[in-house]
C-alpha cells in the first residue's frame, strides 16, 4: 500500500481465514467492450476484460517493475538490440491446447500486418528478426536500440490455432474477437451486448486457480445509476466521482474507499483538420478562455489539479517550467478579433465571412465528470462569443463511429498513462490511420524526431531532456487543451481480501485480482446458487 493511499473503511466484519472458491465479483462500466482481442482493442472496457483473459510475456509487478508472465525469464544483449525469452512450459490455452512460441510469432505478425487495425504497430516496427529457436524459446533482434522493447511484450498473446492463420481484414473480423480464447486466469463464458460480459475462473491457470469463481462485467451507461447500484450493493466496485466520494458515510457501509494519484489526464482534443481549429491562434484563444481553476473546483471538488501537458507531475518526464495558459478573457477576445472574428450582427456569437463560431463538443455517455466539464466550458466560451453544442454518445459508438473515423470537431476524453513516458503512439504523425491513437491528426516534425530519439536512447538523463522538450512543444502547439489530472477514487466491497494499491498505477488496485479471495463465511453470490 502506497503512503497516503490507505483505504477508508466505514464498516468492518469478522472474517474466517479460509478462502472460498465459489463467490462472484460484479464490476460495472459505463460502456461496453469493442474487441476482446488485445491487438485490436483501444478502449478501457475491452482492456479490463482482455487483462483477465490473456497474458503477455511480461507484466508490471507491484513496485512498477517488469516481471515474467508467460515468460519464465529473459536475457537482454549488452547492446540492447536482442531480447531472448524463455517461455513457461505446461501453459495451456483455455481450450486445452498447449501455448508455444508459435503463438507469440503469430501475434507479432498480426501487430505488423498493415491491414490489421491496431494502434500498437509502432512498438514492433523496429524488430529486424523474430526467431523461434524452439517451442519455448524466442529471440527478437531490433534494427536499432528501442527503449520500450521489453515493456511492449506485455501485449496479450493470441492463440494461433484459433485464428488459423487469419490475417488482415479476416483477422479484424474474426469471430474470436467476440469469443476469446486466452491463457489467463479467467475464461470467457458469455457476452450480451450492452448488458454484461461473464468470465469464469480458469481451473488450469498456470499461476493457480483464482479464488473468485466468476467475474461479471455489467454495462451501466450512467454513473448516477451505477452509484445507485453500488448503494444497493448489487455491484462490488466502482470508481467514484468526487461528489460521490464526499457523500454521506453511511452510503459506503461495507465498502473500502481509496484515494490516490491516478496516472491519467482529461483533455479537450481538436480535430486539427477542421477549418475552425487549423490555426493555432484560435486554439490559443480557447485555451485563455477556459478557467481550469473553476473546473478543478467545480468538477473535481479539489480532488486533482490542472494539467499542462501529456505527463504527470510526479513523472521524471514532466517539465515543471512549462507555464500554463492563464485564464484571461480579454486576451482571448483580442486574439479572436485579430483573427477576424467579430460579433457583426450583435447576437452574442462571433462570426467571420458569414459563418458563426460554433462547433460541437462530443464526449461519452455516462461520465458525469466529462459532461459537467463540457457544460462548464460551454458557459465559459459563451463569454467570448463562441457557441458550443454538446453531444453525448454511447461509448462504443463514440469510439467506433466518431473517434476511429475522425468524424468530430472537438472531444473531451482522457488518457491513462504507462509507467514509461513513451507517447509515440499518441503524438507521432505516423499514427493517424483509422484505429490509431493520433486521431486529432497532430503533426510536428520536431516532436516526431524527439519521440523517435526517446525510443532509441537508454540514458535516463537524455530521455528526461527529450521528453521535457516534448512536453513544452505539445503544450505550445495546443492540439489538446490539457484540463486536469484527476485523483483515482475507487471503492470495493470489503468482503474481498487482497486489493492493493500500486504507486502511480495505471491499473488501479486490480492489478492482482487473480489473487483476491472472499472468506468462506462472507460469500455473497455463490456460483452454484446462480446456475
**Max Cα separation, the chain?**
76
DSSP string, 199-229: EEE-TT-TT---S--EEEEEE-S-HHHHHHH
| CB atoms closer than 10 angstroms to residue 132 | 14
DSSP string, 452-466: HHHTT---HHHHHHH
Same domain, 324 and 386: yes
Pairing state between β 127-134 and 137-142:
antiparallel
Partners of residue 76 on adjacent β-strands: 83
| CB atoms closer than 10 angstroms to residue 295 | 22
Instruction: Report yes or no on 3 lying in a domain.
Output: no
Q: Mean pLDDT check: name the lowest of 252-261, 319-328, 443-452.
A: 252-261
Final residue of a domain: which of 177, 207, 236? 177
Q: What is the CATH number of the domain that holds 435?
A: 3.10.105.10
Total residues belonging to the chain:
531
pLDDT tens readout for residues 399-415: 989 999 999 999 999 99
Instruction: Report yes or no on 249 lying in a domain.
Output: yes
Final residue of a domain: which of 452, 467, 487? 487
Instruction: Report yes or no on 293 lying in a domain.
Output: yes
Q: Please, what sign has the CA dihedral across residues 272, 273, 274, 280?
A: positive
151/420 Cα distance (integer angstroms):
8
Q: What is the pLDDT of residue 12?
A: 41
**pLDDT band at 117, cuts 50/70/90?**
very high
506, pLDDT greater than 80 = no
Instruction: Report yes or no on 37 lying in a domain.
Output: no
Average pLDDT over residues 426-430: 97
Instruction: Report yes or no on 363 lying in a domain.
Output: yes
Q: Which of 114, 143, 141 is nearest to 130 (CA)?
A: 141
Same domain, 217 and 314: no
pLDDT tens readout for residues 53-100: 999 999 987 777 789 999 999 999 999 899 999 999 999 999 999 999
Q: What is the pLDDT of residue 366?
A: 85
- List Cβ neighbours of 462 (8 Å cut-off, separation of 6 or more): none
Q: What is the CATH number of the domain that holds 58?
A: 3.90.76.10
Q: Which domain, by its residues, includes 218?
A: 8-29+185-259+489-530
pLDDT tens readout for residues 103-115: 999 999 999 999 9
Burial of 249 (0-12, 13-18, 19+ CB in 10 A): exposed
Same domain, 289 and 422: yes
Same domain, 320 and 406: yes
Q: What is the pLDDT of residue 107?
A: 98
Q: What is the pLDDT of residue 16?
A: 56
Q: What is the pLDDT of residue 448?
A: 98
Same domain, 374 and 462: yes
481, pLDDT greater than 60 = yes
Q: What is the CATH number of the domain that holds 235?
A: 3.40.190.10
DSSP string, 127-156: EEEEEEEETTEEEEEESS--TTHHHHTTSP
Same domain, 424 and 391: yes
For the chain, the domain total comes to 3
Same domain, 134 and 199: no
SS3 call for 404:
coil
Same domain, 86 and 116: yes
Same domain, 199 and 155: no
Same domain, 236 and 276: no
Same domain, 384 and 431: yes
Pairing state between β 358-364 and 410-416:
parallel
Instruction: Report yes or no on 351 lying in a domain.
Output: yes
Final residue of a domain: which of 150, 177, 204? 177
pLDDT tens readout for residues 209-267: 999 999 999 999 888 899 999 998 899 999 899 999 998 778 888 899 888 888 899 99
Q: Cell 481480501 belongs to which residue? A: 497
Same domain, 170 and 223: no
Q: What is the pLDDT of residue 508?
A: 52
Instruction: Report yes or no on 76 lying in a domain.
Output: yes
196/217 Cα distance (integer angstroms):
5
Model pTM? 0.85
Average pLDDT over residues 438-444: 98
13, pLDDT greater than 90 = no
Instruction: Report yes or no on 205 lying in a domain.
Output: yes
Amino acid at each position: 500500500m502506497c503512503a497516503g493511499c490507505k483505504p477508508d473503511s466505514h464498516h468492518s466484519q469478522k472474517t474466517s481465514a479460509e478462502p472460498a472458491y465459489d463467490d462472484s465479483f460484479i464490476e460495472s462500466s459505463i460502456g461496453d467492450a469493442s474487441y476482446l482481442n488485445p491487438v485490436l482493442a483501444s478502449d478501457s472496457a475491452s482492456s479490463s476484460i482482455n487483462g483477465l483473459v490473456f497474458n503477455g510475456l511480461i507484466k508490471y509487478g507491484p513496485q512498477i517493475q517488469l516481471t515474467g508472465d508467460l515468460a519464465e525469464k529473459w536475457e537482454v544483449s549488452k547492446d540492447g538490440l536482442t531480447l531472448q525469452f524463455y517461455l513457461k512450459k505446461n501453459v495451456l490455452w483455455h481450450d486445452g491446447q498447449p501455448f508455444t512460441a508459435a503463438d507469440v510469432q503469430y501475434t507479432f505478425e498480426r501487430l505488423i500486418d498493415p491491414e490489421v487495425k491496431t494502434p500498437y504497430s509502432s512498438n514492433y516496427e523496429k524488430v529486424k528478426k523474430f526467431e523461434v529457436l524452439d517451442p519455448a524459446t524466442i529471440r527478437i533482434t531490433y534494427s536499432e536500440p528501442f527503449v520500450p522493447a521489453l515493456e511492449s511484450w506485455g501485449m496479450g498473446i493470441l492463440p494461433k490455432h484459433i485464428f488459423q492463420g487469419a490475417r488482415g481484414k479476416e483477422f479484424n473480423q474474426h469471430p474470436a474477437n467476440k469469443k476469446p480464447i486466452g491463457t489467463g486466469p479467467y475464461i470467457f463464458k458469455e457476452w450480451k451486448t450492452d448488458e454484461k460480459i461473464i468470465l469464469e475462473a480458469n481451473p488450469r491457470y498456470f499461476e493457480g486457480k483464482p479464488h473468485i469463481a466468476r467475474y461479471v462485467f455489467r454495462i451501466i451507461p450512467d454513473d448516477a445509476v451505477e452509484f445507485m447500484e453500488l448503494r444497493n450493493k448489487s455491484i462490488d466496485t466502482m470508481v467514484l466521482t468526487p461528489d460521490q466520494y464526499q457523500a454521506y458515510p453511511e452510503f459506503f457501509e461495507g465498502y473500502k474507499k481509496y484515494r490516490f494519484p491516478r496516472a491519467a489526464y482529461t483533455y479537450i482534443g481538436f480535430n486539427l483538420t477542421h477549418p475552425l481549429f487549423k490555426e493555432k491562434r484560435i486554439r490559443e484563444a480557447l485555451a485563455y478562455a477556459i478557467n481550469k481553476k473553476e473546473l478543478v473546483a467545480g468538477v473535481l471538488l479539489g480532488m486533482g489539479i490542472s494539467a499542462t501537458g501529456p505527463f504527470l507531475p510526479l513523472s521524471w518526464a514532466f517539465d515543471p517550467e512549462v507555464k500554463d495558459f492563464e485564464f484571461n478573457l480579454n486576451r482571448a477576445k483580442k486574439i479572436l478579433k485579430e483573427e477576424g472574428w467579430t460579433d457583426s450582427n450583435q447576437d452574442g456569437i462571433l462570426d467571420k465571412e458569414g459563418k458563426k463560431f460554433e462547433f460541437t463538443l462530443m464526449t461519452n455517455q455516462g461520465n458525469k465528470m466529462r459532461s459537467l466539464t463540457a457544460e462548464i466550458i460551454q458557459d465559459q466560451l459563451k463569454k467570448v462569443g463562441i457557441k458550443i453544442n454538446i453531444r453525448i454518445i454511447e461509448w462504443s459508438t463514440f469510439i467506433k463511429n466518431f473517434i476511429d473515423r475522425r468524424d468530430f470537431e472537438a472531444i473531451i476524453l482522457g488518457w491513462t498513462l504507462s509507467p514509461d513516458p513513451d507517447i509515440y503512439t499518441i503524438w507521432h504523425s505516423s499514427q493517424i490511420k483509422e484505429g490509431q491513437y493520433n486521431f486529432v491528426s497532430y503533426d510536428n516534425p520536431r516532436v516526431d524526431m524527439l519521440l523517435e530519439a526517446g525510443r532509441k536512447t537508454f540514458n535516463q538523463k537524455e530521455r528526461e531532456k527529450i521528453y521535457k522538450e516534448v512536453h513544452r512543444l505539445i503544450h505550445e502547439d495546443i492540439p489538446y487543451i490539457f484540463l486536469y489530472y484527476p485523483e483515482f477514487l475507487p471503492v470495493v466491497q470489503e468482503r474481498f481480501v487482497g486489493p492493493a494499491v500500486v504507486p502511480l498505477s495505471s491499473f488501479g488496485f486490480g492489478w492482482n485480482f487473480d489473487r483476491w479471495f472472499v472468506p468462506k463465511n462472507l460469500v455473497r453470490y455463490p456460483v452454484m446458487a446462480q446456475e
